[in-house]
Amino acid sequence: MPILNGPSRQPYAGGAPDSLGILLHGLGADGNDLIGLTIALGPRFPHMAFHSPDAPNPYVEAGFGLRWFPLEPPDERMAGLREAGRIVETYVGELLEQYALTPDRCVLIGFSQGCMTSLYTAPRMERPIAGVVGLSGSLLFPEWLADEVRQKPPIVLVHGDQDAVLPPESTAKAGQTLADLGFPVEAYLLQGLGHSIDIRGLEIASQFIERVLAPPDGAEQSEPPTS
């Protein structure tokens, strides 16, 4: 199984992290495409470590960039998505062990094909993570999910109404499917936004992350580990 690598950012405040953000890029990009989001997210979550791994496969059809799974034919897309899910879950587990964190301190943040990969992976993980931020993506093979779901982490979906790459209706459909299966899900359609991430989407994502990482009512926030 491929080992993922890519750019990372240690906590803005220094010291050991108390939480982990995994950024999964879109088709034809690499980990550098999303690590820049930490310019905004780092100060907002000063004790969070961010990792933005490169997808394991070259985007052969385009001749540049990387992909989490092939687009065609459908059988290869299915197999590739399953393999990507296994790879991402293993990667998350390795980082949680490295930082001595529990899964409920981890958030997956995926854009486009990275969103598809996040929405596939998180419900099938052995242990539940804190939540999923899905940006400009879709839920692939929804017919699988009812029989394969193991966890139902909170999910927020954000899509631009001017997206010419993935239709905005894909987020509405994903949100409805997830809600019907009992997932805590929110979906937002942003006016005037194409296949991209803007400050509005980052604010929605940040507020969601603050909620899912907040200590339970009556509990005190734990201090970041010291080693």
Q: Give the CATH number for residue 186.
A: 3.40.50.1820
* Residue 163 appears among annotated catalytic residues: yes
* Residue 159 appears among annotated catalytic residues: no
What is the predicted pLDDT for the residue at 74? 86
Q: Could you tell me if residue 134 is inside a domain?
A: yes
Q: Could you tell me if residue 186 is inside a domain?
A: yes
What is the predicted pLDDT for the residue at 1? 61
Q: Could you tell me if residue 226 is inside a domain?
A: no
Q: Could you tell me if residue 219 is inside a domain?
A: no
Number of domains in the chain: 1
Q: Could you tell me if residue 176 is inside a domain?
A: yes
Task: Catalytic residue, from 19, 52, 112, 136: name it.
Answer: 112
Q: Could you tell me if residue 164 is inside a domain?
A: yes
CA distances from 179 to 20, 24, 36 (A): 25, 23, 31
* Residue 195 appears among annotated catalytic residues: yes
Pull the structure tokens for residue 125.
């993980």
Q: What is the Cα 166 distance to its own chain's centre?
A: 17
Identity of residue 170: S
Structural domain harbouring 190: 8-213
What is the predicted pLDDT for the residue at 122? 99
What is the predicted pLDDT for the residue at 34? 98
- The closest of 134, 151, 140, 137 to 205, measured between CA atoms, is 134
Q: Could you tell me if residue 223 is inside a domain?
A: no
Q: Could you tell me if residue 140 is inside a domain?
A: yes
Task: Catalytic residue, from 18, 30, 33, 163: name it.
Answer: 163
Q: Could you say which residues of the chain have pLDDT below 50?
A: 218, 222, 225-227
What is the predicted pLDDT for the residue at 227? 43
